[in-house]
Chain A
Amino acid sequence: MKIPTLREVATEARLLLIGIPVFLWTMIPIYHMFLFAISPKEDAFSGKLWPDHPTLHNFEIVFKQQHYFLRDFYVQFWNSLVIAAAVGVLTLFIATAAAFSISRLKVPGGRVVMNLALFTYFIPAAFLAVPMYRTMGNYGLLNNHWALILAMVTIASPYAIWVLKQASDKLPVELDEAAVMDGATTLQIFRLVYVPLMMPSLVAIGTYAVLLAWNEYLYAFLLLSNDREITLPVALGNFLAADDSPWELLMTTGFIYALPPAAIYYAFRRYMVGGLTAGAVKS
């Protein structure tokens, strides 16, 4: 084994001096949430860094819905799931069709549509939320899952179209031409050539839309209010309505709620990093 020189030790020490604060900064809020989830109420509120009696009792309460705030836990979890899945599927369908049309079929006016979509992408979501709320009221969709689904599709599609268009611009034109030579119809090209080739980007965009919908709070809490219609994040926000909120249960539910997106993110990280950051900001 090579003995490190003084200079190497100094470099390593300096890196650690950055690395350790970064680690703590990142982990403290998450650890704190986890700590609450495994602490009985007394321990959680006494500011201990590790509970005297770590327990899974909080999870039991959540899974058995044994608290006023949790009585619709499964329904709300299911709502979150259905809405996220629907947003993922609809966004993929709309964005893939649009990107194919703009990039491969060179539809007249495609460029204008692309620019309009990009414009929407840059409108801050909280600003669009105000008129969107009223619009959903006009359409009679308030308190209906479709309101949230359609709102999230509206927000997710512009970026989805843009990323997919960038990706499909890179596919060689010869592929389409060869397929046309072989007598393929437009739909066949779409189904048999385009979609299979675009798979990595489609996975990235599908994941993006699902996570966006699952994580959304503002639109969910504006558009849905009925206890059995709301999604989990809105339910979490409702915990704060009481002065003596059961924070240990709030954190436990929050922990459960945070697990699926974290798992999905790490499972698809390869696609996410490649597909999204490359497209996100090209200089």
Chain B
Amino acid sequence: MAITLSGDQALPAPPLSSRLTPAQVWGIVLLAPYLLVFLAFVVYPVCYGLWLARAPANYVALYNDPIFARAAVNTLIFLVIGINIKMLIALFLSGFFAQQRTWIKWLSVIFILPWAVPSIPTILSVRFMLNPEWGVINHLIFSFTGDDGPNWLNDPTVALSMAIGVHIWKSLPFWTLILITGRLAISHDLFEAAEVDGASWWQKFRFITWPSMQTLYITCTLLSMIWTLGDFNSVYLLTGGGPADLTHVLATLGIRYLRLDQLSLAMASIVCAMPFVLPLVYFMMKRLSR
């Protein structure tokens, strides 16, 4: 950790009381509001929660709860499959949106809408589209084939896939936007030189785009994974964890235990996620606090 010392701080230190300049006193005063918020609403809740989750019996109960195991698997599917699909699409679309066309500029303005509007009404809108009796999708299936469409949200696999779809719908624009900035930062000369050498688009991607975007792409993927762990809305508002509590992820499971007044179980389920979350967080912090 490199700490840059300004001139006056580098001098030999007198005792603490006289070492604080008026500016530093102000510094502490101005930092105090955040510290108070941090102590009252982060440190205290986290410690209190850990204390509640201390009894080993909680973990035995979790281990014996099939819903917990299912939620853990669902979360893994959500993260490993869902996020990677999302980021690959974002990478692909960032190339599309980097094209210089007026209509693509306009499309990019529209494309950001899912990110700009709140998730509640749009997710509920999707939920009704998937309604087996009245939803527009099954109406269309019926009018084209004469058959009744499937009961979308009644099959755990389909329901979870739909929740992943909703998550992708919502956050794809954000990540695409970030990857576009990464792409636009690549020097155009490289592509022109490659063009002259007759490189194919794959070669251009493989040898120019990917090497310069690799770090950004991986950072984005990890960050998206951390945040998606906290994605409560996509699952809760679309499936509510159902059918039969088979589509829960850790984020909704914690709240489910909370609603059932099993706070210590809720905390224990979160503690169980920590061995996976903390390394990711550590890695991201190293990246961002440079």
Is B202 an interface residue, CB under 8 A from the partner?
no
Identify which of residues 230-251 in chain B touch chain A, using a CB-to-CB cut-off of 8 Å: 230-233, 236-237, 250-251
Instruction: Report yes or no: B181 in contact with A105, Cβ–Cβ below 8 A.
Output: no
Q: Assuming A107-B28, A126-B251, A237-B237, is B45 touching A251 (CB within 8 A)?
A: no
Q: Assuming A98-B33, A105-B24, A261-B118, is B263 touching A281 (CB within 8 A)?
A: no
Is B82 an interface residue, CB under 8 A from the partner?
no
The stretch of B58-66, B101-109, B153-161, B191-199 in contact with A is B101-109
Q: Assuming A95-B34, A217-B233, A283-B215, is B101 touching A47 (CB within 8 A)?
A: no
Q: Assuming A97-B30, A134-B49, is B125 touching A251 (CB within 8 A)?
A: yes
Top 6 closest A-B pairs, CB basis?
Answer: A47-B139, A254-B121, A124-B230, A107-B27, A131-B49, A105-B27
Q: Which residues of chain B are near A277, meaning CB under 8 Å?
A: 177-178, 181
Q: Which of B30, B231, B232 has the largest count of A CB atoms less than 10 A from its CB? A: B30
A95 to B232 CA separation, bound complex (whole angstroms): 26
Q: Which residues of chain A are near B182, meaning CB under 8 Å?
A: 283
Is B260 an interface residue, CB under 8 A from the partner?
no
A273 to B173 CA separation, bound complex (whole angstroms): 12
Contact with B along A90-132 (1 / 0, CB 8 A): 0001110110111001111011011111111011111111111
Instruction: Report yes or no: B41 in contact with A135, Cβ–Cβ below 8 A.
Output: yes
Instruction: Report yes or no: A116 in contact with B38, Cβ–Cβ below 8 A.
Output: yes
Is A9 an interface residue, CB under 8 A from the partner?
no
Instruction: Report yes or no: B45 in contact with A131, Cβ–Cβ below 8 A.
Output: yes
Q: Assuming A47-B136, A105-B26, A125-B230, is B120 touching A262 (CB within 8 A)?
A: no
Q: Which residues of chain B are near A237, meaning CB under 8 Å?
A: 120, 237
A residues with CB within 8 A of B: 15, 18-19, 22-23, 25-30, 32-33, 36, 45-47, 49, 93-95, 97-98, 100-102, 105-108, 110-111, 113-120, 122-135, 138-139, 150-151, 153-154, 157, 161-162, 173, 185-187, 190, 214-215, 217-218, 222, 233, 236-237, 240, 247, 250-251, 253-255, 257-258, 261-262, 265-266, 269, 273, 277-278, 280-283
Could you give 17 example pairs across A and B, Cβ below 8 Å? A27-B110, A33-B121, A47-B135, A47-B140, A95-B34, A101-B27, A118-B285, A126-B251, A131-B267, A135-B41, A154-B42, A218-B255, A240-B124, A257-B121, A265-B112, A273-B177, A277-B181
Instruction: Report yes or no: A128 in contact with B42, Cβ–Cβ below 8 A.
Output: yes
A93 to chain B, nearest CB (A): 7
Q: Assuming A22-B107, A130-B267, is B44 touching A135 (CB within 8 A)?
A: yes
Instruction: Report yes or no: A120 in contact with B42, Cβ–Cβ below 8 A.
Output: yes
Q: Assuming A126-B231, A187-B26, is B35 touching A150 (CB within 8 A)?
A: no
A227 to B206 CA separation, bound complex (whole angstroms): 56
* Set A185, A215, A280: member contacting B119, Cβ < 8 A: A215
Instruction: Report yes or no: B116 in contact with A262, Cβ–Cβ below 8 A.
Output: yes
Q: Assuming A106-B9, A217-B120, is B125 touching A33 (CB within 8 A)?
A: yes
Instruction: Report yes or no: A134 in contact with B107, Cβ–Cβ below 8 A.
Output: no
Instruction: Report yes or no: B110 in contact with A45, Cβ–Cβ below 8 A.
Output: no
Q: Which residues of chain A are near B72, meaning CB under 8 Å?
A: none
Q: Which residues of chain B are near A133, meaning CB under 8 Å?
A: 258
A130 to chain B, nearest CB (A): 5
Instruction: Report yes or no: B263 in contact with A134, Cβ–Cβ below 8 A.
Output: yes
Is B284 an interface residue, CB under 8 A from the partner?
yes
* Set B24, B41, B52, B226: member contacting A107, Cβ < 8 A: B24
A253 to chain B, nearest CB (A): 8
Instruction: Report yes or no: B219 in contact with A32, Cβ–Cβ below 8 A.
Output: no
A240 to B128 CA separation, bound complex (whole angstroms): 11
A250 to B251 CA separation, bound complex (whole angstroms): 25
A49 to B252 CA separation, bound complex (whole angstroms): 33
A77 to B164 CA separation, bound complex (whole angstroms): 30
